[in-house]
């Protein structure tokens, strides 16, 4: 079972890498598409198409001033045409940058959404495979026989425990007759597979496997200690 699960783990990781690569390529292709409107947005049109935005107004005292309805800027004298064109060009450039940032954000959100969907799909598939392995692990056991579960656990998951290299320490009959030893081993295993102890670098399969083992052993030990 352990060998089969390791092979499945490698296959799942390879699928994840291939899907992530495909998503990155799609994102790069989308970002590299030429935008035919960029030059039109940034560059000013010729003078005949120029539109003045400065509006004349008066203060309560009757003083004439000018304000720009887009930038909300005000001044006493009306800018000449050259200055107005420079201001309009800055406005267009600012809008263009804002639009680019918005489009980039939309692409990032879409990319994240696709990654989440891929991860959810992989998680569902992995959970199904792990549940089959857990079922095979429990199938030949006496119901809630914690000692037998722990003795056969190395066939399901690899843990850095010295007991896992000592056949005597994992002898089910010995564990059944020594509650203190059984409790100690159970707690050590539980600390290794506790969801809060799973490292961020662990593969998705390894993380889910530990979670399933933790849940199964916890249920089997309920009321024993």
Contacts of 105 (CB under 8 A, 6+ apart): none
Whole-angstrom Cα distance, residue 208 to residue 210? 5
| pLDDT tens track for 206-220 | 888 999 899 988 988
**What pLDDT, on a 0 to 100 scale, did the predictor assign at position 142?**
62
Q: Is the pLDDT of residue 194 over 90?
A: yes
**What pLDDT, on a 0 to 100 scale, did the predictor assign at position 48?**
47
Distances (CA, A) of 83 to 42, 170, 182, 225: 16, 86, 85, 83
Whole-angstrom Cα distance, residue 72 to residue 211? 58
Whole-angstrom Cα distance, residue 157 to residue 199? 15
**What pLDDT, on a 0 to 100 scale, did the predictor assign at position 45?**
47
| pLDDT tens track for 19-57 | 666 666 665 555 555 455 544 444 444 444 556 778 889
Contact 44, 128 (CB under 8 A): no
Whole-angstrom Cα distance, residue 109 to residue 86? 35
Mean per-residue pLDDT over the chain, rounded: 78
Whole-angstrom Cα distance, residue 107 to residue 103? 6
**What pLDDT, on a 0 to 100 scale, did the predictor assign at position 190?**
93
Contacts of 55 (CB under 8 A, 6+ apart): 66, 67, 68, 69
Looking at residue 180, what DSSP letter applies? H
**What pLDDT, on a 0 to 100 scale, did the predictor assign at position 188?**
92
| pLDDT tens track for 69-102 | 887 888 898 888 888 888 888 888 888 888 899 9
User: What tokens were used for 209?
Assistant: 């496997």
**What pLDDT, on a 0 to 100 scale, did the predictor assign at position 28?**
55
Angle at the Cα of 162 from the Cα atoms of 159 and 167, rounded to 5 degrees: 100
Whole-angstrom Cα distance, residue 185 to residue 170? 9
Whole-angstrom Cα distance, residue 31 to residue 104? 8
pLDDT band at 186 (very low <50, low <70, confident <90, very high): very high
């Amino acid at each position: 079972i352990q060998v089969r699960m390791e092979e499945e783990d490698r296959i799942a990781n390879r699928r994840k890498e291939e899907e992530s690569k495909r998503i990155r390529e799609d994102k790069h292709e989308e970002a590299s598409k030429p935008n035919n409107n960029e030059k039109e947005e940034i560059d000013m049109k010729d003078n005949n198409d120029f539109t003045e935005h400065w509006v004349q107004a008066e203060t309560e005292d009757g003083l004439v001033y000018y304000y720009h309805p887009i930038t909300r800027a005000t001044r006493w004298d009306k800018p000449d045409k050259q200055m107005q064109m420079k201001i309009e060009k800055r406005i267009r450039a600012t809008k263009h940058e804002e639009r680019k940032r918005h489009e980039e954000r939309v692409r990032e959100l879409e990319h994240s959404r696709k990654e989440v969907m891929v991860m959810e799909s992989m998680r569902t598939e992995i959970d199904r495979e792990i549940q089959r392995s857990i079922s095979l692990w429990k199938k030949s056991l006496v119901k809630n026989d914690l000692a037998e579960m722990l003795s056969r656990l190395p066939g399901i998951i690899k843990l850095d425990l010295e007991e896992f290299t000592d056949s005597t320490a994992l002898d089910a009959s010995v564990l059944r007759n020594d509650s203190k030893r059984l409790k100690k081993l159970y707690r050590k295993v539980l600390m290794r597979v506790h969801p809060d102890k799973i490292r961020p670098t662990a593969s998705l399969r390894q993380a889910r496997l530990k979670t399933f083992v933790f849940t199964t052993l916890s249920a089997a030990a309920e009321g024993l200690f």
